[in-house]
Amino acid sequence: MGTDSTDRGATPVVGNVLLVAVVIVIGIVLVTLSFSFLEGTGAPSAEASFEYEQTPVGLEMTATAIGTDVTVQLNGRPVTTIEAGDAGESVLVPTAPGDRITVVSQDREKSVLVAREIEDRDEVGDFIAYYTFEAGSGDTLLDRSNNDNDGNLSGDLDWQESSLAFDGDGDYIEVDQFNTPVETVSEFTIAVTYRTDDESEKQELVEHKSDDDNWLLELKPCDNDEVESADSDLCDGDDQYVPVFSVDQAGGTQDEQIFGDGEQANTRQTLVGTFNGSGHTLYVDGEQASSGEYEGDISMGDLNIGKDIEPSNDDYLDGEIYEIRLYYTAFDDQQVRVLTEAME
């Protein structure tokens, strides 16, 4: 009888212990789910919170609270860092439709403090065309800016995992009349990430033409007469090429072209050409290469990728293109550097 009494007396104690354990487990699950929810929706944590503002380049993030050193990433690529205590500091993120902003702590835990999907058109910059060349197929290059400026493929273009390969002989993309809010612009920025296999021939990366107005990014061999007359010190040898940015209005003779330094083939680069209405500047991998004076508005029309837009000239690209972005706004040095980091 005594033994039975002892067993019955222990039962409530065991039950209370089990009840407490269940409550603790439920609490842990709820906390875990709560953190997962915050990360998935991009809600700020106690260690980092931000305000967001649209700019012509993309989203500007301002730290309203920052309790730890963090890295701001765009689609997994680091864009910039913010140190603990730098509340009020702003960073520019060149967002595009479908992008993902992630803020990661720099401590050993590498905690995700913010994860934000860019789905709203109001959260991206003044995109007119945006081509990523990622694992595509078929005869159409999709414009991911949501402006329907799709391109038509011609030739034997070869889709790669993250690029489109041009063979230098008949491959190009044609984008007919742009769907744009205006017919003429006083500012624009064109950015291209590419690699060429050949330094011996002139090659077109991207060229626009509307009536007599024209702008382009192209590659010229170092022994080209125009390159040699512009600056004999651009190249270390003839087995190189130079990137060129040109803006012409109303039948210009392309005297307004500006040059980068000589580069070897098989070098992946990001070129950014920006025009502010009174001058144009060429950047190579985020660094300013050259600038020139040119004043006037530019009308916008057709666009060729990988080929000269003039029927009499071919100048086909022999290499790969990874990304192209076109904005109707001018970029400054900092904006170009951030854009380049996002496209590298």
Is residue 208 pLDDT above 60, yes or no? yes
The three-class DSSP label of residue 180 is coil
* DSSP H helical ranges for the chain: 2-41, 225-230, 333-343
Q: Provide the CB-side half-sphere exposure for 227 (13 A, CA).
A: 26
The angle at the Cα of 187, spanning 328 to 246, to the nearest 5 degrees, equals 105
pLDDT confidence band for 135 (50 / 70 / 90): low
- The span from the first CA to the last CA of the chain, in angstroms, equals 81
Give yes or no for a contact between 201 and 343, defined as CB atoms under 8 angstroms apart: no
Q: How many CB atoms lie within 10 A of CB 148?
A: 10
Give yes or no for a contact between 343 and 77, defined as CB atoms under 8 angstroms apart: no
Is residue 34 pLDDT above 70, yes or no? no
What average pLDDT does the chain have? 82
Give yes or no for a contact between 128 and 283, defined as CB atoms under 8 angstroms apart: no
Q: How far apart are CA 223 and CA 263, in angstroms?
A: 13
Q: How far apart are CA 22 and CA 16, in angstroms?
A: 10
Higher-confidence position of 211 and 30: 211
pLDDT confidence band for 175 (50 / 70 / 90): very high
Higher-confidence position of 54 and 62: 62
Mean pLDDT computed over 204-214: 86
Higher-confidence position of 180 and 101: 101
Query: Which pLDDT value is given to residue 287?
Result: 96
Question: Of all residues in the chain, what percent carry a pLDDT higher than 90?
Answer: 44
Kindly report, residue by residue over 315-341, the tens digit of the pLDDT: 999 999 999 999 989 999 989 998 998
Q: How many CB atoms lie within 10 A of CB 319?
A: 23
Q: How far apart are CA 70 and CA 37, in angstroms?
A: 20
Higher-confidence position of 126 and 120: 126
Query: Which pLDDT value is given to residue 125?
Result: 72
